[in-house]
Structure 1
Amino acid sequence: MRLWTDAAWLAGRWQREVLLEVDGAGRWSRIEAGRACPPDARRLPGAVLPPLVNAHSHAFQRAMAGLAERREQDQDDFWSWRDAMYGVALRITPDELRGLATRLYRELLGGGYTQVVEFHYLQHRQDGRPYEDELAMAWALVDAARDAGIGLTLLPVLYAHQGFGKRGLREDQRRFKTDADWVWRACQRLRQAGVNAGVALHSLRAAHAADVDALLARVGDAELPIHIHAAEQTAEVDDCLRLLGQRPVQWLAPRLDPRWQLVHATHLLPDEIEAIARSGAGVVLCPGTEANLGDGLPPLAACLQAGIPLTLGSDSQVTREWREELRWLEYTQRLLVRQRNVCAKPPAEPSSAARLFEAMQAGSARAAGLADWGLRVGARADWLVLDPDAEGLEHVALERLLDALVFASRGPCFSEVGVAGRVVLEG
């Protein structure tokens, strides 16, 4: 299949008259700028962007998005929100999860994501007993991704304890219970079924030191993604320091390598940022959720400066498009330092939107356990076509189009979304 566009975002900049060829395996086999449109190519109706990976999703939490925005008591924070979330988690069946996730994944496609990484810890029946097939909830997510047409990376999660120094789970966490053997067995079964799968540890409060090391012993040197929530809340950092004598990222640092992704990493010290950068590990930022939960602001400028691979996640699903996440990242930094275009790096990178977008492109493949990503020969043939008539994009010059998309557009903005050489969303 041959596609042609007036303009495409290639190698960090807009390039004109671009021919894109897709091979029989749904991968880019040829991408060339400065080419007239061949007679056998399909002319795309707008400028083309590479999509992004959504590197952190809890699909079942889509059921409560917008329904936890009232304060019924004196204190409302992450921990009270978590209790409400457990109530939702205790009710969802595999069939309901499939329907809910299918709807969510279509929304994510419309938001510019074509691969979703599911941090999957909702495993068992409502009473905590295993399903006849212990992966029933995982297969529901696999089916949902297929139904929606989005790429999926599935991470079964090790979730064994209720907190630092507290062994076992609370009664309202009963559906989450796993150990290293369970997670590794689930990962192997998923991969044998052709599912792109890795592993995850919920957090150091839910996976204690022995659990972490047990899972790492089973993974060995296998090349697959390893994700963990880390340093999201100050209470988590304080408890870790009190029980383990180190902050979460300090404790994790000797174990980190390029397979690891630290989700949130909101509360980092300079030496922790240096340790992450040295290890090659990535950081997954979820600015919409982090703002919604009152987590705090990540040290974004320092992470960019250190060259840490970054990606975005929709997490609790209160936001479901990457342009809004990038806007949150830049705007919160502006409020923090009371300056503008904080994420830009002139003179080479004067656009905040472009620098953030490129940073997320660079981290996407590894976070999802893929060999390559983007508008690059050999990568999966995924694309986004910008609607030139979308609100905020009308009559914007090409060199400012990405800026307008992130900071000035509203409503639907993609007229077409392609995954693996096939149009999965249009109109």
Structure 2
Amino acid sequence: MPVAAPSSALPQSRSLLTTLPGPRAQELLERQRQVVPAGVASTMPTFAVRAEGGIVEDVDGNRLIDLGSGIAVTSVGASAPRVVAGVQQQVEQFTHTCFMVTPYEGYVAVAEKLADLTPVPGPQRTALFNSGAEAVENAVKVARAYTGKQAIAAFDHAYHGRTSLTMALTAKNKPYKNGFGPFSPEIYRVAGSYPLRDGLSGAEAAARAIHQLDRQIGANNLAAVIMEPIQGEGGFIVPAPGFLAEITRWCRENDVLFIADEIQTGFARTGQWFASEFEDIQPDLITTAKGIAGGMPLSAVTGRAEIMDAALPGGLGGTYGGNPVACAAALGAIETIMEDGLLGRAREIEHVIVEHLTSVQRNDARIAEVRGRGAMVAFELINPTTGAPDAALTGAVAQAARDQGVITLTCGTDGNVIRLLPPLTISNELLREGLTVITDALAATTI
């Protein structure tokens, strides 16, 4: 597909013409308060009108450095030319027929690409949906249909979504679960691997988890174990080496499916197509979303053919699942990753971020750890005297950076982790500037 040049290039520089929010943003915030519930909260107190590369421009003409990518969605950029061209072409042809009524080639083409790219072994099948939570729900449905078992095990610090079932899988109470119960039954939680806090090797942490799986649930009741290869909302926790391999080995030996939730870690974000590849694990099922389609709503469950075929005809699907416009965007995003060398670019971004943060960490004991892979790196903040998580410091630093025009996200079960998810199209200059704003804010903050 030919790649069209952007109609007008957005300057790749930070520029604050007003304080945030500016006058136009204040008007929109008031309108928002009148019609949008308080439960739909926003990180930045402004409204975007344009985005490209590493910059988001707001309604008042302010240009913000984007270190969030819409929570790991716009990895190929917020207006990637191949994605834009694919969407425009598809919109001119048709916007919807419902794949379950009148199918179309784009859905099949996306499934073929996922069969080529995902680390699921053997012949594969893919079903497309709209959101990450929807993909997780359907992966659980498929696992139960295939195994005839009902229990599902998730891990401490997990995040899998905000629907009824996925809230049960998600570990953190506020804001995701508080007041929304009761939750779906037959969901169990076991300890995972958090090297900074538990000090265990991968083998030791896996032995602890397997003991809990055996004693608290039992393999004969367990349909699947689900885990993010790098836990996202839980704090960008990278399990100790060997942990994932040992858990998947136990699953295979005990007829339990392993579901890799790669919704945040997939599609070049970590410097591989999928984070599972770092430990050479082969999930039975893999859920993807976020970076799959350059900002269009699309998600997928990809799995071994015999597992995916366990659901009855009509048992999987949804009116909008695999929308043709979103499929066109996905094909453009995948082509962009391949043709523009974005796997390597993610690894370059990791080097820039880790080098900057570790140099600051040497002189600031409040940074307990710098961790992550590719363009998915975080640092955890603690009280150096007590070692306790410091959520107040984390919030203050993030807010100070936002006030200076850097989109900054936090995470962690204890709210004490600043996470960095820049678009893979950001320049090193912008990235370093954004990092400097954040770490200067840390240096200036005393709580």
Give the TM-score normalised by structure 1: 0.29
Give the TM-score normalised by structure 2: 0.28
